[in-house]
A and B are shown apart, each in its own frame.
Chain A
Amino acid sequence: MTNIHRCWVYGDNVNTDVIFPGKYTYTLKTPEEIASKALEDLDPTFATQVKAGDVIVAGRNWGMGSSREQGVTSLKYAGVNCIIAESFSGLYFRNCINQGVLPIVCTGLHLTLHTGDSIELDIANNTIISGGKHYSFSPLSPSVQKIFDAGGLLPMLQKQFAAAK
């Protein structure tokens, strides 16, 4: 089964300070507030125009820098459930899994797309279809897939703690 997603396309080395500025990290708490600052210093049009189901398509080293989870949750609360990049910062990749946002490592895609273009995503077959071309990506490793399938680290632990009671 494939789903069609609208893309927001960015380059290499997009850092967490421009994804979610550090000055907001201790004071903004609600999902609406956090989503309203997503990509504030990268693309001021994003937060007002993003729609549920949109995906990010980026170059190398997406999410480098800070450990702040709002780098992922600001996008998640804005409706983004999948980020496709040539590569991710290790910390950002972990934060994605823990928040139930799918990180897809796929090369050669972001330079062919512009913001507003659409792609087809076939997660079951690890394939992206764009401009008539098929791009395959590696599935998550089994231990990581387990956390993702639970909806993230928090829901997984909630189940474990509820079962232990």
Chain B
Amino acid sequence: MTGYTFVEKALARAAGRVNVRAGDILDIQPDVMFSHDNTAAIRRIFEKIGAQNISRPERAVFTLDHAVPAPTTEHAQNHAEIRQWAKAQGIRQFEVGRGICHQVISEEALVLPGEVILGSDSHTTHFGWLGAFGMGVGRTEMAALWATGQLWIRVPETFRITLIGKPPAGVTAKDITLRLMKDKSVGGGAYRAIEICGETLQHWSIDELPVMPNMMAEFGAMSAYIAPDERVLEYVHARRARAVQAADSDPASYRFRPYEPLYPDTDAVYDEDYTLDVSTLQPQIALPHQPDNVVNLSEVAGQPIQQALIGTCTGGRLSDLEAAAAVVKGKHIRSRLLIIPASSEVLLEATRNGTLATLVEAGAAISTPGCGPCMGNHMGVPASGEATIMSGSRNFKGRLGTTDAPTYLSNPYVVAACAVAGKIIDPAEIIGTMEA
């Protein structure tokens, strides 16, 4: 009898079973279920089901993030419907400006290590950074979750990715993730859970930990997982302690439930193993129009760039803003540089520690925390033919709202360097050296 993987343990717990194996089909009850600007559309499906009230409302969360502040009357109407529904059902709802669902739910410690979170958003794989099982679902599935509290799932096999070596200066979790995409292709993780492990993780800042789990959506995976270390457990502990002290929180409420981190058994069975040595990796860039169309940055240096974007659930955290500030400090940008923090907490800290001032002095434009143009709604939609480079995760044709506008993906140092130079360039050429 072999040991169990993380997903086998997490899904057994969510199904109320002693143990399950990959391939089993279960009905699971998630610990948390969330939706965002698509909440009003989910409500319309929910009402067609014939249900009246959201089952287990304490477990539901709504965020407004995909088109905030509302760019049109129709979007504003959509938000108004969501606010009204949240109030009527007693659901925790985060307002315009608080930030992107994945970032906000992490900061608020609304999902905990070892738990299961389902969201009507494909990047729900993100929560693997907290040692939780996160999976994206469709709108009808979220309506079903509201109505019945549960959803069927096939327990996935696990693909283990082991990262070895210390990344060179200027090579971030983003570069390593893009390299994995190139090596194994989009779809390399299809139908499977991903476990990310190895010595490289200790070199990632806490802000970098979510990058690879987040982009496992582009990898085709159902979910992702990083074994929570002391830093992550301390992060969760501090966030919960802060929330307990907040005036509107009841320490006896569902929010402050006990939890137990889950770890795979040492003799768990993996469907596939892949080891990536990052010790000599160069900065990577994904060319239009697919996240696995990846080359070394040096191969495409010189390509003109009209717009650079630091933001999204993949690359809008404090360390991303700080990386951009380190590159543009004391310089003036040649192409547009948009800064869209992933949350109000990121914005506040970047304001307090001077990061924002450095960026604005260099000519950057700052926008409301949220998804920004990464859905093509607003706040940085490019003109035809204009090239954008961003710290986000998706460069599919039309992603930013314009069909014939090429998008590149890279790390935040590279994005900021491109803004300074007005073309694709190695950040080492802007700041001399990447050694801290």
Please report A residues at the B interface, Cβ cutoff 8 Å. Answer: 13, 15, 17-18, 21-23, 25-27, 29, 40-42, 60-61, 64-69, 87, 89-91, 94-95, 98-99, 141, 143, 147, 152-154, 157-158, 161-162, 165
Contact = CB atoms under 8 A, between A and B. Distances in A.
Contact of B141 (A18, A21, A61, A98): A98
A69 B220 contact: no
A87 B190 contact: yes
Given A26-B74, A41-B397, A65-B122, A161 B141 contact: no
Contacts of A13: 186-187, 290
For chain B, what secondary structure do more than half of its interface residues adopt (helix, strand, loop), or is it mixed? loop
B61 to A, nearest CB: 16
Contact of B147 (A23, A41, A143, A157): A157
A162 B50 CA distance: 7
Given A17-B398, A26-B67, A157 B49 contact: yes
B107 interface: no
B137 A26 contact: no
B238 interface: no
Given A17-B396, A25-B38, A89 B220 contact: yes
Given A65-B394, A161-B50, A161-B147, A152 B120 contact: no
A26 B75 contact: yes
A60 B66 CA distance: 29
Given A22-B401, A65-B218, A143-B152, 20 more contacts: A15-B396, A22-B375, A26-B37, A26-B74, A26-B78, A26-B377, A27-B72, A29-B41, A41-B403, A60-B187, A61-B187, A61-B220, A64-B220, A89-B187, A91-B137, A94-B138, A153-B141, A154-B48, A157-B49, A161-B147
Contacts of A147: 152
Contact of B140 (A61, A141, A143, A152): A152
A126 B152 CA distance: 24
17 contacts: A17-B396, A22-B399, A23-B375, A23-B377, A26-B74, A41-B397, A61-B190, A64-B220, A65-B218, A67-B138, A94-B137, A98-B141, A153-B141, A154-B48, A154-B140, A157-B49, A158-B49
Given A98-B138, A157-B147, A143 B74 contact: no
B295 interface: no
A27 B38 CA distance: 10
B150 to A, nearest CB: 11
B191 interface: yes
B397 A161 contact: no
B37 A91 contact: no
A61 B396 CA distance: 14
Given A13-B290, A26-B41, A67-B121, A157 B396 contact: no
B302 to A, nearest CB: 28
Nearest to A99: B140
B396 A18 contact: yes
Interface in B112-155: 120-122, 136-141, 143-144, 147-148, 152, 154
Contacts of A94: 137-138, 141
B11 interface: no
Given A27-B74, A90-B220, A161-B50, A69 B187 contact: no
Contacts of A98: 138, 140-141
Interface in B374-428: 375-377, 394, 396-399, 401, 403
B349 to A, nearest CB: 29
